[in-house]
Copies of this chain bind each other. A is one copy, B any other.
Amino acid sequence: IQRYIVTKLGEDWIFLVLLGLTMALVSWSMDYASAKSLQAYKWMFGELKENVALQYLAWVSYPIILIVFASFFCHLVSPQAIGSGIPELKTILRGVVLKEYLTLKAFVAKVIGLTAGLGSGMPIGKEGPFVHIASICAAVLSRVMSIFTGVYENPYGYTDILTVGCAVGVGCCFGTPLGGVLFSIEVTSTYFAVRNYWRGYFAATFSAFIFRVLSVWNKDSVTITALFRTNFRMDFPFDLQELPAFAIIGISCGFLGAFFVYLNRQVVLIMRRPTALTRFLTKQQLLFLFGVLWKSFNMLSLCFSFVTQLMPRECINSLFDNFTWTKISGSPAPPGLGRSAAWLHPQVSVFVILLLFFVMKFWMSAVSTTMPVPSGAFMPVFTLGAAFGRLVGEIMATLFPNGILFDGIVYQILPGGYAVIGAAAMTGAVTHTVSTAVICFELTGQISHILPMMVAVILANMVAQGLQPSLYDSIIQVKK
């Protein structure tokens, strides 16, 4: 028996290591491909500066071609690859058998579709599909291993393998092993076996580690650090008197998150109803072509404020920066401002730009997550929350331009900190989870705002849970 256990344990280790390794490679190569695609997009746009018509054409057609390709590819290879994947996994883990959902075909369709989708620069998330990809990977891997060894029957059944797969999926998506494990637990399970916690931890850490090493090796980043690293001052990151503002962010994000879920469901339901519009546009593809066109048009009109030039990741990085935009707008840009300059406009107020960005991005994200391509909602909602938090932070900075005085120490308002808290609260409200706070810590590499963030996330959850089901439950209800 001793030996039997050792072999079993050994195989479990090999399984976890292989899973982590595969997913890290997949995640990294997808990031690489989509980054190159975005670079090409930007380059093309820049090169065509002389001809506005051509520039417009390129700006609109490039994402459309990619999205249409992604949609058709998924449709042909495996329609199961469409959407986020988390709702379906949740039902599978509850015991429902979904056909052809964990096959190699779905894997290929999801990976290629998602890469094309991400490369188009649309507000599409990577997190949800990644959970699906990792789960397929785990399921296939366990089947392959059972062929080789002949005895690898998973000791606890399918559920354990899929749970670990989910954890790895979230973990290697942004290199957040801790938050990944917790998020996947909260989202997919009702009862959770603690032994999986450990296995998920191991596989996710290994995966995140390889993922980061790959990017160091590729000279993307100098060393292993957080993805959206912030540099807030640590001595006195915030004062207690700022807490009401954080609470307001939390409560507002709760309402906004519930509204996002509502809007998302309404879009699905309207598209399904047999109206004149949907009869005319029989294929969903046509409908979202229309959506993309409109979006591109909006982007062009917004282009004056330069914000749309930012790629999704740059956008989040700039929202988290250390400057107080209301203070520096008007005056010449300080050194080190970098990409955040896109948010400043000599004529238009920062508030207007942020509000416009938020409103436009809000409905665009709600619509784009219903498109028939592999797409998650995590990252778009994260960006939305960051923009909202930044808005509140900038308002606070305007209300208290000299900071808050308490006990002889002046606390300057840090709008970037508000942005981080907003991002955590909004994602928490939409997904009904608290571990988004952990993901935020890992993404920013700073934990100094832990208490206000926890308060905001919990408040957002309380409000959102009272109003609407989580986005994943909402999708499950709609798909039924």
Choose the segment among A196-204, A377-385, A387-395, A413-421 that binds chain B (4+ C-beta atoms closer than 8 Å). Answer: A196-204
Do the beta carbons of B407 and A222 come within 8 Å of each other? yes
Whether A290 is near chain B, meaning CB under 8 Å from some CB there, is no
Whether A225 is near chain B, meaning CB under 8 Å from some CB there, is yes
Contact with B along A189-214 (1 / 0, CB 8 A): 11111110110011001001100110
**Residue in B212, B229, B409, B461 whose beta carbon sits within 8 Å of that of A222 in the complex:** B409
Choose the segment among A122-130, A133-141, A435-443 that binds chain B (4+ C-beta atoms closer than 8 Å). Answer: A435-443
Q: How many residues of A contact B (CB 8 A)?
A: 54
Do the beta carbons of A240 and B225 come within 8 Å of each other? no
Residue of B nearest to A433 (CB): B198
A residues 247-271 near B (Cβ < 8 Å) are none
**Residue in B209, B229, B458 whose beta carbon sits within 8 Å of that of A201 in the complex:** B458
Residue of B nearest to A406 (CB): B223
Q: In whole angstroms, how far apart are the Cα atoms of A384 and B461 in the complex?
A: 39
Residue of B nearest to A187 (CB): B194
Do the beta carbons of B224 and A234 come within 8 Å of each other? no
Question: How far is the CB of A262 from the nearest CB of chain B, in Å?
Answer: 20
Choose the segment among A48-56, A337-345, A449-457 that binds chain B (4+ C-beta atoms closer than 8 Å). Answer: A449-457
- Copies of this protein in the assembly total 2
Q: In whole angstroms, how far apart are the Cα atoms of A467 and B405 in the complex?
A: 55
Question: How far is the CB of A450 from the nearest CB of chain B, in Å?
Answer: 6
Do the beta carbons of A193 and B194 come within 8 Å of each other? no
Q: In whole angstroms, how far apart are the Cα atoms of A394 and B240 in the complex?
A: 38
Please name 13 pairs of A and B residues whose Cβ atoms are closer than 8 Å in the assembled complex, sorted by A: A186-B198, A191-B192, A191-B194, A201-B454, A201-B458, A208-B451, A212-B451, A213-B240, A224-B451, A226-B448, A229-B234, A231-B234, A442-B447
Q: In whole angstroms, how far apart are the Cα atoms of A226 and B235 in the complex?
A: 10
List residues of chain B with CB within 8 A of the CB of A202.
Answer: 458
Do the beta carbons of A190 and B194 come within 8 Å of each other? yes
**Residue in B185, B224, B240 whose beta carbon sits within 8 Å of that of A240 in the complex:** B224
Whether A216 is near chain B, meaning CB under 8 Å from some CB there, is yes
Q: In whole angstroms, how far apart are the Cα atoms of A202 and B459 in the complex?
A: 10
**Residue in B178, B195, B226, B231 whose beta carbon sits within 8 Å of that of A438 in the complex:** B178
List residues of chain B with CB within 8 A of the CB of A225.
Answer: 236-237, 448
Q: Which of A191, A212, A447 has the most CB of B within 10 A?
A: A447
**Residue in B190, B209, B407 whose beta carbon sits within 8 Å of that of A451 in the complex:** B209
Residue of B nearest to A465 (CB): B198
Whether A177 is near chain B, meaning CB under 8 Å from some CB there, is yes
Residue of B nearest to A452 (CB): B224
Whether A31 is near chain B, meaning CB under 8 Å from some CB there, is no
Q: In whole angstroms, how far apart are the Cα atoms of A240 and B234 in the complex?
A: 25
Question: How far is the CB of A36 from the nearest CB of chain B, in Å?
Answer: 22
Q: In whole angstroms, how far apart are the Cα atoms of A458 and B240 in the complex?
A: 36
**Residue in B185, B222, B239, B461 whose beta carbon sits within 8 Å of that of A236 in the complex:** B222
**Residue in B198, B229, B448, B451 whose beta carbon sits within 8 Å of that of A434 in the complex:** B198
